[in-house]
């Protein structure tokens, strides 16, 4: 057994790798507006959230009310990322954290965020709550947010929104600004003539939101309905987590101690396993079951439910304790997690170039593995840091 290196260096390596894979995630152009083109499936099969954060300019000679200077946006990106990280440091996301980046391809430069949240609607509303709070903390920020169903804030307030709003004309009309819900009215027309007079350009919509002479506030009833789910935060963050004892290979316990979010990748891989992948877990060549340690593992409740409801047969590499044993649950749950990491390791060897990864099916489980796959390529390298059985 090779002695593991300094845990601090290992943690730095993990963080560096995750940062690099996030850049790959952006380089392969995972554009949430064109998910059907990327996944070859209807966007309804992918539960995602997309947000755009615009910054009100602090006085520009061009007269533009929205900040377009890329360097200033990068500075704002750092501030926003810092706040997000601080408030969610102890949280475990079902699929992945919100990925924030400076979006220079947008019609109006902004800070964009995207996240596949899968079965966890709580993750989606946690992001909305964070964005809502951010617009109160930083009054310069204007936020638009949508998901795979479109303008979901309008859907929440469907009984109280103006009669004229339709899915066709709602684009560029719904924003969160200074903690309030704003709906740009039809009277705020674009400066450029458009084929459809009910549509509005993004730049013109943002100008209307920050203009004191244009009333864009949603009604109190509409705002209350749209933001009703935000009242459960931040308390529900802790309620959405579950901690359980797990008997794990030492290397995996160290990985999770360095980065608890890796449990998301392992869970999705085990949940979406196929018979061939499970057969490979009979040998556990990447993560030897021994030596092992019993550790407390933090889960998102959706992840925990997925693992405990999945059955697993006898595996030659593992000695799962009998049901009568007090440690049976820890042994069984740890085995499932270990199998998830083993599959990650195997798939990483098969797909060393994550930038060329393609989804060949519209199956939701395969789509859910996207995040797992761009993590798993680096697990082979991480094994060197932590040591493995010869």
Per-residue pLDDT tens over the stretch 359-369: 333 333 333 34
pLDDT value of position 351: 52
3-state secondary structure of 139: coil
The 10s digit of each residue's pLDDT in 43-58 is 446 789 999 999 998 7
Cα first-last separation, the chain: 7
Q: Considering just the CA atoms, what is the radius of gyration of the chain in Å?
A: 23
Given a contact cutoff of 8 angstroms between Cβ atoms, the answer to whether 131 and 51 are in contact is yes
pLDDT in tens, 276-321: 888 888 888 888 889 999 999 999 999 999 999 998 887 877 888 8
**Model confidence at 103: pLDDT above 60:** yes
Rounded Cα distance, 252 and 246, in Å: 11
Contact 226, 157 (CB under 8 A): yes
Portion of the chain with pLDDT greater than 70, in percent:
74
pLDDT at 325: 87
Higher per-residue pLDDT: 205 or 25? 205
How much is the average pLDDT of 78-86?
A: 95
Q: What percent of the chain is predicted at pLDDT more than 90? A: 54
- HSE (CB half, 13 Å, CA atoms) of 55? 24
Which pairs with CB-CB distance under 8 Å and at least 24 residues apart come from 18-27?
18/259, 18/375, 20/378, 21/354, 21/374, 21/375, 21/377, 21/378, 22/99, 24/354, 24/355, 24/374, 25/99, 25/374, 26/99, 26/101, 27/355
Q: pTM score > 0.85 for this model?
A: no
Summarised one tens digit per residue, pLDDT across range 338-378 is 999 998 888 766 654 433 333 333 333 333 344 444 444 34
Angle ∠(170,173,179) on CA atoms, nearest 5: 130
Residue located via tokens 């309008």: 154
Statement: residue 12 has pLDDT above 90:
no
pLDDT digits (tens, 9 = 90+) for 203-216: 999 999 998 888 99
Angle value at C-alpha 191, between 106 and 193, nearest 5 degrees? 95
């Amino acid at each position: 057994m090779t002695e593991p290196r300094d845990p601090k260096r290992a943690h730095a390596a993990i963080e560096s790798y995750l940062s690099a894979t996030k850049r790959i995630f952006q380089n392969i152009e995972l554009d949430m507006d064109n998910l059907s083109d990327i996944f070859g499936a209807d966007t309804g099969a992918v539960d995602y959230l997309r947000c755009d954060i615009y910054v009100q300019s602090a006085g520009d000679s061009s007269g533009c009310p929205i900040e377009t200077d890329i360097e200033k946006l990068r500075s704002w990106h750092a501030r926003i990322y810092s706040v997000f990280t601080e408030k969610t440091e102890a949280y475990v996301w079902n699929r992945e954290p919100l990925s924030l980046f400076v979006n220079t391809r947008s019609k109006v430069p902004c800070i964009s965020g995207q996240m596949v949240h899968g079965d966890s609607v709580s993750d989606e509303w946690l992001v909305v709550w964070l964005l809502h709070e951010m617009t109160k903390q930083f009054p310069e920020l204007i936020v638009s947010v949508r998901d795979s169903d479109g303008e979901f804030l309008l859907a929440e307030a469907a009984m109280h929104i103006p009669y004229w709003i339709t899915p066709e004309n709602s684009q560029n009309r719904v924003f969160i600004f200074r903690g309030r819900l704003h709906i740009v009215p039809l009277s705020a027309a674009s400066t450029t003539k458009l084929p459809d007079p009910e549509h509005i350009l993004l730049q013109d919509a943002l100008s209307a939101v920050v203009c004191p002479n244009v009333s864009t506030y949603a009604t109190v009833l509409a705002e209350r309905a749209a933001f009703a789910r935000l009242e459960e935060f931040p308390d529900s963050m802790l309620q959405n987590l579950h901690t359980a004892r797990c008997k794990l290979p030492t290397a995996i316990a160290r990985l999770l101690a360095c980065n608890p979010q890796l449990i998301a990748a392992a869970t999705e891989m085990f949940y979406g396993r196929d018979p061939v992948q499970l057969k490979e877990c009979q040998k556990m060549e990447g993560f030897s079951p021994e030596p092992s340690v019993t550790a407390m593992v933090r889960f998102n409740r959706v992840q925990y439910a997925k693992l405990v409801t999945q059955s697993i047969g006898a595996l030659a590499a593992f000695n799962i304790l009998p049901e009568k044993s007090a440690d049976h649950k820890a042994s069984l749950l740890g085995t499932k997690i270990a199998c998830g990491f083993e599959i990650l390791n195997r798939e990483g060897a098969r797909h060393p170039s994550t930038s060329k990864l393609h989804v060949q099916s519209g199956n939701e489980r395969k789509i859910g593995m996207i995040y797992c796959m761009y993590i798993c390529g680096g697990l082979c390298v991480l094994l060197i840091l932590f040591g493995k059985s010869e």
